[in-house]
Amino acid sequence: MTPNNKKYFPFIISLIVSLPFCASANFQALPDLTQILSSFALISLGLILYKTDKTYSSPIPWVFYGLVYLASLIAITPFIHYRPFSSSWLPALIGVISLAIFSLAITNYNNKTQLFDYLCKGLLLGASANALFGILQWFISYFDDNNLPIYGFINQRNLYVQYLTLGSIALAYLWNKKKIKDHYALPLTTLLAIGAALGGSRASFLYLLALLPFCLLSKPFKAEVDIQRLCNKLLIIWAINLSVMLFPLLLIMPQANTNEIKTNTERNSAIARVVTNMDHAANNVRLYELKMSVQSIIKHPILGIGWDGFALEQQNIIQGKEYSHLNDWPTFLRTNTHNAILQLFVEYGLFAIPILLGFLYLIWHIWYEKQTDALAAMALLAVLCIQSMVEYPLWNFQYLAIFIILITLFGPIKSTSNISIPNIFYPASGIIGSGLVIYSVYLMITLLPVSAPGWIWKENRAHIPQLEHYRDNFLVDYHVHNMLLSHWRSPTVQINNARNLCKKINNYRPTPQSLLCEAVISHQEGHPEQSRALMAFSIHSYPQLATWTISEFNKSTAAKSRIDSRKASSIIEMYQ
C-alpha cells in the first residue's frame, strides 16, 4: 500500500534541511539546542503527517540497520561504562531511533527525485539566508569596528561555511535541472561565495578540495551529457568560490608586517589566517586530541569507552603521562576527538568496524548508480565527510539528519526483507517525538531564568529549589548539575549534598570549577588526602589555571600556609 503523503512530505524534507540552520539568531545562549529541537520537531511533524490508508508491507533500507546498530551501542553504554547522567546518552538514543523511523518513511515514498529536489531547494534557501545574515554581520562589524564574528545564524565559523558550501552544491544541481535560470544562478553563486569568504574559515579550502573531483569527473570518464553539464556547473561555482577566497591576497600580500595583517584581516579572511598561521593554538589542540584518541584506542581496543566518554578519558590519560611542557595543553575540557572515525573507534573499539564498513558500502552503492542525482548527493556527502575529519558535524543532530536523508534516498534497499507497518505507526511515533519537543521547550523556558547566579541574593536563594526539582530529570540532569555548581560559591545559598553534585560532574566531565568544588568540600569535611588528590588532578589537567586554582582553594579553605603557585610543575610535586 502506498503512503498518502504526496502533499506534505517533500515540503517537510525542505524544512528539515533549512529551518534549523536559521533558528538560533535570537537564542545566542543556547544556539545548538534551538537547532536540535527544531530539527527533531520537523522530523516528528513529518511522521505525524505521513498518513497511510491501512497496514502495508515496507522494504527496509540498509541505513535502517546501521542506525539500529548504533542505537544499540548507545543504549548499552550505561550498562558497561559508568554514566552518572542519563542526559549524556538518552537524548542521543532518542534522536538515532527517530532517524531510523524516518528512514523507513523516506524509503516508502515513491518519488525519490522529488524529495531530493526539495532537499536541494531547502539547502539553497537556508544557505542564502545565512549568507545574507553573514554579510549583514560583516557590515555591522566593519562600520562599528566591533570585530563581530561572521557566523550567520549558525554561530560557528566552520559549520557556517560548510552549510554555505552545501547550498552551493544544491544550487549547481537545481541550475543543471533548469529549476533556476542562468540570470539567477550566478548572483546566487556570488552571494554564497562572499558569505563563505567573510566567514574566515580555513576549512573553506578543504570543502573546495572535496568538491574538485566532482567538477572534473566528466573529463576522464566520458560521462553522460547530463552529468557533464552538472560537472560544468560545479566547476563554475568552484572557480567563483576560489576566486573570492583568494581575493584578500591582493590586500594582504603587499603588507610586510604580520601583526598588521592579523589586525586588519582577523574578522573576515580565511586566506589571511592560513598565510599568518593565526590559529597555531587551534592546531596544537587538534594534535592534542589526536594523541589522546590514539592513547584511548590503545587502552580500550575492544569495547572502547562508550558514548560521550572522551572528556573523562583524556583527563585520566593525562594523569598517567609525563609532559615536559605543561603549558602546551588546553585550559578547557576537550569533549570529542574532532574526527568522526577516531570518535567511533574511541567510543566503541572493534564494534565501530561494522559502522565504518557499512558506510563505505553505502558510498560505493551511490557511486555505482552513476546518475546525476546520485553525483550531486555524493558531492554533498563529500563535504559533510571531509568536515567530519576535522570537526564533529555528524555528532550534531541537525547535520546527521541531512546525512541520513541523503544516504537513505540513494542507498540500497533490502527488498527481500519487508516489515508490516500499521497505519498508526508513523503518526504515533511523531506524536511521541512532538511531546518530547514540547516538554524540552518547557524545560528550557523554566530553567533559563534561573541558570546562573544573579546580583540579588534573595533571587539566588529562590532559584535553588527550582533547580533542585530538576536535578534528576532524564533530559537535563547534567545541565542542572552545572547550573547548581555555578551557585556553589554564593554565600547566601546552600546546595543539598553539594559534594555528591561535584563528584557526579567529575565522573563525567571534570572541569576546573567542579574539581575545585569537590576538593574544598572534601577539605572542609575532614578528608585532606582526597582534597590533595583532587587538586593534583585539576592542576595536572589544567596547568595554565594552576595559579587560579591554588588561589581559590586557599581562599575557600582559609589555609594557614599559602602555596607558591608560580610553577605548575612544582605544585604537582607538592601535592603528590
Has residue 365 got a pLDDT over 70? yes
Amino acid occupying residue 199: G
Overall average pLDDT of the 142-157 stretch: 75
Which residue type occupies 224? E
Asked whether 180 and 236 are in contact (CB, 8 A), the reply is: no
Q: What is the pLDDT of residue 227?
A: 81
Buried/exposed code over 27-38 (b: 16+ C-beta within 10 A; e: otherwise): beebbbbbbbbb
Q: pLDDT-based confidence at 272, cuts 50/70/90?
A: low
User: Which band of pLDDT confidence, cut at 50, 70 and 90, is reported for residue 374?
Assistant: confident
Per-residue model confidence (pLDDT) at position 132: 94
pLDDT digits (tens, 9 = 90+) for 546-567: 888 888 888 887 654 444 444 4
Q: pTM here?
A: 0.88
Highest mean pLDDT among 24-28, 156-160, 395-399, 404-408: 404-408
Is-contact 138 196, C-beta < 8 A? no
Predicted confidence (pLDDT) at residue 375 exceeds the cutoff of 70: yes
Residue 256: the pLDDT is 39
Distance CA 202, CA 564 (A): 41
Burial track 267-277 (b if 16+ CB lie within 10 A, e otherwise): bbbbbbbebbe
216-247 pLDDT tens trace: 765 545 556 788 888 889 999 999 988 888 77
Residue 499, all three cell numbers: 559534594
Orientation of helix 546-557 relative to helix 528-541, angle to 10°: 160
* Residue pair 499/522 in contact by the 8 Å Cβ criterion: yes
146 pLDDT band, cuts 50/70/90, is: low
> What are 90-137's pLDDT values in tens digits?
999 999 999 999 999 998 888 889 999 999 999 999 999 999 998 888
Predicted pLDDT at 259: 43
CB count in 10 Å sphere of residue 545: 18
Between CA 194 and CA 140 the distance in angstroms is 16
Length of the chain: 576
Mean pLDDT of the chain: 81
pLDDT value of residue 68: 95
* Res 250 pLDDT > 80: no
Mean pLDDT for 282-305 is: 84
Going from the C-alpha of 468 to that of each of 58, 90, 383, 453, the distances in angstroms are: 46, 20, 43, 14
Sorted by sequence, the CB contacts under 8 Å of residue 99 that are 6+ apart come out as 43, 67, 400, 401, 404
Share of the chain above pLDDT 90, in %: 38
Q: What is the mean pLDDT of residues 260-280?
A: 50
Residue 548: is it exposed, middle or buried by C-beta count within 10 angstroms (0-12/13-18/19+)? middle
Q: Please say if the pLDDT value at position 155 is more than 50.
A: yes
Higher pLDDT, 153 or 25: 153
Tell me the sheet residues that pair with 56. 421
Q: How confident is the model at residue 500 (pLDDT cuts 50, 70, 90)?
A: confident
CA nearest 370: which of 181, 258, 221, 157? 221
Q: What count of Cα atoms within 13 Å lies in the side-chain half-sphere of residue 194?
A: 17
pLDDT for the residue numbered 384: 92
Q: What is the pLDDT of residue 147?
A: 63
| Dist. CA 51–CA 72, nearest whole Å | 28
pLDDT at 42: 93
Q: What is the pLDDT of residue 261?
A: 39
The 10 Å CB-count burial string (b at 16+, else e) for 179-202 is ebeeeebeebbbbbbbbbbbbbbb
Q: Which residues face 413 on adjacent strands?
A: 61
**305-338 per-position pLDDT tens digit:** 999 899 888 888 877 655 434 444 555 677 888 8
**In the predicted model, is pLDDT for residue 260 greater than 60?**
no
Average pLDDT over residues 75-85: 93
Cα three-residue angle 397-88-339, rounded to 5 degrees? 55
Beta bridge partners of 418: 59
- d(Cα 554, Cα 560) in Å, to the nearest integer? 8
Is the pLDDT reported for residue 160 higher than 60? yes
Packed helices 477-486 and 498-506: angle between N→C axes, nearest 10 degrees: 120
What sections of 425-567 are H helices per DSSP? Answer: 425-447, 457-469, 477-486, 498-506, 512-524, 528-541, 546-557
